[in-house]
Structure 1
Amino acid sequence: MTVHAQPPAPLPRLAPTRRRLAQVSLGVGAALLLAACGGGGGNSGTASPSEPAPTALRPADLAVLYAAGDATSESIARAYQQARGIPEANVLAVTLPTRADVMSSTDFNAMKTALDARLPAGVQATLLTWTTPSRVAGACTMGLTAAMALGYDTRYCGGCTATASTAYYNSGSAQPWTALRIRPSMMLGAATLAEAQVLINRGVAADRSMRSAGASANAFLVRTDDAARSVRWNDFVNTAASSVSGLQFQLVDNAAGTGSNDVTGRSNLLFYLTGTVRVNNAVSNTWLPGAAADHLTSFGGFLPDGNGQMPVTEWLRAGATASYGTVVEPCAYEQKFPRASVLVNRYAQGDTLIEAYWKSVQWPGEGLFVGEPLARPWAP
């Protein structure tokens, strides 16, 4: 990846024009658009010599965290524990100093220090069952899931600047804490128990679904008429040229603005990646369990309202199982957003959704990951 000598300008904050869908063949090439974008104690996590090494995260590797004193958060955590068979020792209450949208880095560090002292050492990843706070602010702002995974560290944030990479990017590791001292984190992203149960069921239903005979899914990779938010197009084209069992790639190119920026009324969606301020009528599509969807824009991870843009939780309500967005103006650095080629490849190799999504973002510090982490369509 080329690192910009000067940071790109912020992503423009104008809503895109809605137009007719235009689909192009897989062989169409395009120049990369460089326009600006507006632990603890316990047992070790290693397998015994008599057990095969894990190929992906397992329920025993995940800690489910709920906000102390929040009955909804705790009920969501217990529902997830039951659905996924999470060990009781891995379900922990966290005392949050604030339920505002943002928490200070000082408060976060105190909370995380206390949590790390209680986490079983074998825990490799965490799931958060609240929706606020969603970001951590100090000298710069990090997404909460990034801060949970990496610790609050100004190397990983800074707004419209290049930030630090992580060793987990495109990694083959199935035990990130043991191997890399990184615990990837995801926020479930449901505000109510009813919403959470729908999402949890969706994730469980995804397991091994793409290993079934005749399994077929669609991956929509979209270039919109918003050039600043379509910087992933070259990677989309390269991804669509690959071969993945059961997956049909659909490249949609509306760069000229003569079609539509939106994919609507389609079936069997497993991926929908685009670049726009807002996605219209995504609920009209039929989504497969385990689907990943995101829209490259400035504030998708800025919960609860996206700071005037579409928040990533809207993807979950539409039918996706996980999404990703940034919590602060990131500028048009591709490295701060999911790379389709890595996301699809890691998922199709059998990674869980949290692993595939986390491994696809090279500079994840300003991002927020939401969804059901253990969905695994290509599980053996």
Structure 2
Amino acid sequence: MSLLRSHPTLAKTFLQFFIAAFLLAFANAQFLTHEQILVVFNEADSESAKLAEAYRAARNIPENQVLGLNLPLKADISRDEYQSTLLKPLREYFDSQNFWKRGKDAQGILLPIENRIRCIVLMRGVPLRITAIPSSSPADGEAPPKDPISPRDEASVDSELALFGVETLPEKGILQNAFYDSKVPLSKVNAPYLVLTARIDSSSYAICKRMINDSVATEKTGLWGRAYVDIANKIPEGDQWLNSIISRNQQYGIPTVTDRFNDTLPKNYPMTEPSLYYGWYDWNVSGPFLNTGFKFRRGAIAVHLHSFSGQQLTDPHQNWCAPLLARGAAATVGNVYEPYLHLTHHFDILHDRLLKGWSFGEAAWAAMPVASWQGITLGDPLYRPFLHIDGTGENRGEDRDFRALRAASRQWSDATDERRAKLAAAAQKLSSGNIAEGLALDYQESKDSENAAVWFNNAKTFYSRKEDQLRQDMQLIAIDRAANNTQAAISALRAALKNYGTISETAALSGWLDILDPPPPPVADPSKIPGN
């Protein structure tokens, strides 16, 4: 008998010591802290000021690190307005508060050489975009330039501010982000001239307030739930980012529903318990998010890749950033103008750093190759959604199954067969649809369609909600669809339509059926002249 087995009190003490040591290691990583934040709001907008105070209080930010500026009450500002209302006052405030020390580098450029503020958080009401100087864009009808990047001077306010302490920077083109793909937190990188930016902004004050509260609350429990990844098969680089996310989730025991068809997820797809979403490439919000009953799990991270995902933040039905936040996500990233794929957030890096316990602000900026460009980070930059991925944190009943999947991935990380056997037994004992579906998804990702089908069917019997049962049927149909068993897939879709006809999620079945068995074109009207 081992010493720890014979002394349960000692075993408990050892466990507490281990957990404390683990948490201390996280603390020693020196991620972004509240003492390194400057909050900026628009004095001309009363809700912007109120939101700034709510965030300051939630994160215990020092009062002199909240700055109100008299800014235009509009989303788009000119380059001159940016410089006079934001850039100049910010530099003056940093000087007056001794936040930084600036000096000249070897090339004689004045820039920060010490900086106490490492992140600026912009509140709703602060302008979003810096518009292009008209003469800098090609005239209508002109061919686009061979170099579509270096002549452009439009940008997100947020991205432009990242290097605001550096004098005489070019207004056109991009600037390299020294923190890109960093393997260590910002505090370990010698780049005092770089100030991360994030924005707490959405289509209403209430949503912004919830984003703050959800981030703080989720850090106590950890972010648990299901991931959904929609691969569009558009450009190999972007698809590879998503494949990397799926692989990482499999390692971490995060059950991940994957759609690998060219079309995006259909309208009202039964997306339940969603804590993570990554997809591309519709212009406006679509698929499961059109369901009026849809809502993300508290603290969810949700991102859709599109060139204009963050073009505006006031309409919860247009583009992607505002709609995802309106549907319950706590954080997202996006673009205000065309960024080009390689100059947008690299989703695989973002997700990897989040899983490693990083703050959202640092993970987002580690995923962004450039500054002075089009990216925005929406959400509390201090938010660490996977702070408790090790299984610590407050336990909630609704997280039980997802914690079990994670625990199994940790305990039997190198023993796949044993892990699956343990999960199979747990699913049966607990009659858990979540665990059974997680096991099915694991088999599916290993290209074991036979066992995946067995466990999708088992999950269907365990689930009580029609939406969850429907998703299992759609995943079984997806197996036939991927194998080009089109007729079998069509028959199953029609049968499911009859079975689930009373719930809104059946629109997803109709969406797939229209793709696999499109309806005939309408009969021509002989009274009308063709073409009129």
TM-score scaled by structure 2? 0.54
- Equivalent residue runs for 1:204-215 within 5 Å: 204-210=216-222
Matched, 1:59 2:34: yes
Task: Give 1:48-127 correspondences, 5 Å limit.
Answer: 54-96=29-71, 98-110=72-84, 111-119=86-94, 120-121=99-100, 122-127=116-121
- The CA distance in 1 between the partners of 2:188 and 2:82, in whole Å, is 22
The answer for the alignment partner of 1:301 in structure 2 is 310
2:238 maps to 1:267: no
For 2:206, the equivalent position in structure 1 comes to 194
1:222 aligns with 2:197: no
What residue is the counterpart of 1:354 in the other structure?
361
Q: Structure 1 residues 170 and 177, CA, compared in 2 at 3 Å: closer, same or farther?
A: closer
Name 2:242's counterpart in structure 1. 236
* Cα distance per residue 1:21-56 (max 9 Å; x no partner): xxxxxxxxxxxxxxxxxxxxxxxxxxxxxxx75521
Rate the CA distance shift 1:207–1:156 in 2: closer, same or farther, 3 A. farther
Shift of 1:300: 1.8
Q: Which structure would you say has the larger Rg?
A: 2
Question: Per-residue deviation at 1:176?
Answer: 8.0
2:349 to 339, 342, 355: 342
Higher helix share: 2
| 1:238-265 per-position Cα deviation (integer Å, ceiling 9, x unaligned) | 332235535233321121x496377543
Contact 1:267 1:285 in 2 (8 A): no
Change (3 A) 1:263 1:174: farther
- Kept in 2, the 8 Å contact 1:237–1:251? The answer is no
**148, 157, 160: which one pairs with 1:147?**
160
| SS at structure 1 position matched to 2:52 | helix
Q: Distance in 1 between matches of 2:311 and 2:188?
A: 26
Among 367, 377, 386, which residue is 1:369 paired with? Answer: 377
- Superposed displacement of residue 92, structure 1: 0.9
Do the aligned partners of 1:303 and 1:311 also contact (CA within 8 Å) in 2?
Answer: no
Indicate the percent of aligned positions where both proteins have the same amino acid: 22
Q: Which gives a bigger RCO, structure 1 or 2 (Cα 8 Å, sep 6+)? A: 1
Distance, in Å, in 1 between the alignment partners of 2:176 and 2:299 is 26
* 8 A contact 1:176–1:182 mirrored in 2: no
Residues 202 and 314, structure 2, Cα contact 8 Å, conserved in 1: no
Sort the Cα spacing of 1:164 and 1:102 in 2 relative to 1 into closer, same or farther, 3 A.
same
Does the 8 Å CA contact 1:208/1:377 hold for their aligned counterparts? no
Offset of residue 208 of structure 1: 4.8
Alignment equivalent of 1:168, drawn from 179, 185, 194: 179
Q: 1:177 to 1:194 in 2, by over 3 A?
A: farther
Partner of 1:8: none
Conserved in 2, the CA contact under 8 Å of 1:290 and 1:375? no
Give the Å deviation of 1:309.
Answer: 4.8
1:259 and 1:187 map into 2 onto residues whose CA distance is: 28
Q: 1:123-142 residue pairs with structure 2 within 5 A? A: 123-139=117-133, 140-142=153-155
Task: Please tell me whether residue 277 in structure 1 is matched to residue 283 in structure 2.
Answer: yes
Whether the 8 Å contact between 1:123 and 1:177 is mirrored in structure 2 is no
Q: Give the match for residue 325 of structure 1.
A: 334
TM-score, structure 1 as length reference: 0.73
Letter in 1 for 2:127: P
Change (3 A) 1:70 1:176: farther
Contact 2:231 2:264 in 1 (8 A): no
1:121-178: CA deviations, max 9, x gaps? 31110111124521113452111110121339986865xxxx4431111222333896
Provide, for residues 256-302 of structure 1, a one-character-per-residue CA deviation record: whole Å limited to 9, x for no partner: x4963775432142233332212324264452333222222222222
* Partner amino acid, structure 1, of 2:271: G
Aligned residue for 1:118, secondary structure, equals: helix
Give 5+ residue unaligned stretches, structure 2: 1-26, 101-115, 134-152, 389-532
Alignment deviations for residues 45-76 of structure 1 (CA, whole Å, 9 cap, x no partner): xxxxxxx7552111111111111232110000
The CA deviation at 1:77 is: 0.4
Confirm or deny: 8 A CA contact 1:208 1:378 kept in the other structure. Answer: no
User: Structure 1 pair 177/146, CA: closer, same or farther in 2 (3 Å)?
Assistant: farther
Q: Shift of the alpha carbon at 1:373? A: 2.1
Whole-angstrom distance in 1 between the partners of 2:171 and 2:237: 21
Distance in 2, matches of 1:258 and 1:142, equals 29
Deviations 1:322-341 (A, max 9, x none): 122221223xx332222222
- Matched-pair contact (CA < 8 Å) for 1:124–1:184: yes
Mark the CA change 1:299 to 1:79 in structure 2 (over 3 Å): closer, same or farther. same
Q: 1:294 to 1:155 in 2, by over 3 A?
A: farther
User: 1:180 deviation in Å?
Assistant: 4.4
Q: Deviations over 1:64-120 (max 9, x none)?
A: 111123211000000111111111111111222x22221112221232122123133
The answer to whether the 8 Å contact 1:132/1:303 transfers is: no
Greater displacement, 60-69 / 277-286 = 277-286
Query: Does structure 2 conserve the Cα–Cα contact (< 8 Å) formed by 1:349 and 1:378?
Result: yes
Residues 124, 178 of structure 1: 8 Å contact kept: no
| Bigger mean CA deviation after superposition, 350-359 or 272-281 | 272-281
Amino acid at match of 2:380: E
Residue deviations 1:163-216 (CA, integer Å, cap 9, x gap): 443111122233389634211111101354322221211111121533xxxx74
For the residue of structure 2 that corresponds to 1:241, the secondary structure is helix
1:176, 1:136 → 2: CA distance? 31
